[in-house]
Amino acid sequence: MTASIEEARRGFRERLLEAGVLVVLGEPGLYAKSGVFERVYRGVDALTETTLAHLGAEVLRFPPVEPLALFEKTDYIASFPQLTASLSVFTGGDLEHAELLTARAEGERWERFLEPAGVLMSPAVCHPVYALLTGTLPAGGRNFDVLGDSFRREPSEDPMRMQAFHMHEYVHVGTAVSALAHRDEGAPLMHALLESLGLEIDYVPANDPFFGRAGRMLAKNQITQSLKYEFVTPVYGDAHDPTAISSANYHETHFGQAFDIRDADGEVANSSCLAFGLERITLALFARHGTDLGSWPAGVRARLGADA
């Protein structure tokens, strides 16, 4: 009998915890990662860089949070309110602090004494790039190599769905032609990289988890216009839907318009990004090859620089 998807997810989570690949932190979807996880993760990350080195992308590393003004322009709250997380901070004086401590001593939740800071957890690592590009691009557009923390509020027992994770993205901002070329020329390279690690990969049209009724319309548009593709792999066996571990996205003028970016001809800029889900790729490898790194195929370990 086939295990349900929930059983399959719990089983994989238990194997990862037993083998010490991940360590739980007391909240679904938040983990500490062990040394063996980190070795594979670093190998995967290094391979993304060599695979797309020819882009000559400008390197930018962002903090895990972003300013409200930037977040606003991305329209994220309209599309994904269910994933959004805002930081709150203490701004009171002694009196408010005393009230907070009293509530805390009585066993109450005390976060309600905090105020929104105007800083949000970054849900997508490429967003801050566009805020830097307001103005006119050079001919040929620009390429960026961005890596950072993402936070999406979706607590889950599925180890593939973490709340805090990292994406390594290769972003192009330019014309419609150059942005589509970036996506469609990069995707086969990503596909080959993932397959070279022994993963069974499909490249399929996809949609983001847009919220609510309006979201169903955005999701339908994304599919009919072939804006988003995902690299999926059967982490939980062929009886269950495969899991996305990377994506290739064409944003049309969404960010160009929001951040007032123009291409060299003065038209609203188009953008696209190639996004590697580093934790998801790493975990897909543990699902595929087992939790004992020493018994992985030698070729895979060599590719990852995780030989001995």
Which residues contact another protein (rule: CB under 8 A)? 75, 78-79, 213-214, 216-218, 220-222, 224-225, 252-254, 257, 268
Nearer to another protein, 149 or 252 (CB): 252
In angstroms, what is the minimal distance from the CB of 156 to Zn ion? 22
Instruction: Provide the b/e sequence for 244-256 (b: ≥16 CB within 10 Å).
Output: bbbbbbbbbbbbb
Cβ atoms within 10 Å of 232's Cβ, excluding its own: 21
Compute φ and ψ for 27, nearest 5 degrees: -150, 130
> Which ranges of the chain does DSSP label H, i.e. alpha helix?
5-18, 35-51, 68-73, 76-79, 94-105, 127-131, 176-196, 212-224, 254-258, 278-289, 298-304
* Cα-based torsion angle of the residue sequence 134, 139, 141, 143 in order, rounded to the nearest 10 degrees: -120
Residues 80-139 that bind Zn ion (CB under 5 A): 126
8: contact with Zn ion by CB under 5 A: no
Residues 177-216 that bind Zn ion (CB under 5 A): none
- Considering only 273, 274, 281, 300, the residue that binds Zn ion (CB under 5 A) is 273
Strand order in the sheet with 86-89: 65-67, 115-121, 86-89
Interacting partner of 98 out of Zn ion, another protein, none (Cβ under 5 to 8 A depending on kind): none
In angstroms, what is the minimal distance from the CB of 225 to Zn ion? 17
In angstroms, what is the minimal distance from the CB of 208 to another protein? 11
Interacting partner of 79 out of another protein, Zn ion, none (Cβ under 5 to 8 A depending on kind): another protein
Tell the residue number behind the tokens 């979807």, with chain if given.
Answer: 29
Evaluate the CA torsion angle 33, 35, 40, 41 in order and state its sign: positive
Interacting partner of 254 out of Zn ion, another protein, none (Cβ under 5 to 8 A depending on kind): another protein
Q: What is the per-residue binding string for Zn ion in 144-183, x denoting contact by CB under 5 A? A: -------------------------x--------------
In angstroms, what is the minimal distance from the CB of 36 to another protein? 42
Of 250, 252, 255, nearest to 272 by C-alpha is: 250
For Zn ion, the binding residues (CB under 5 A) are 126, 169, 273
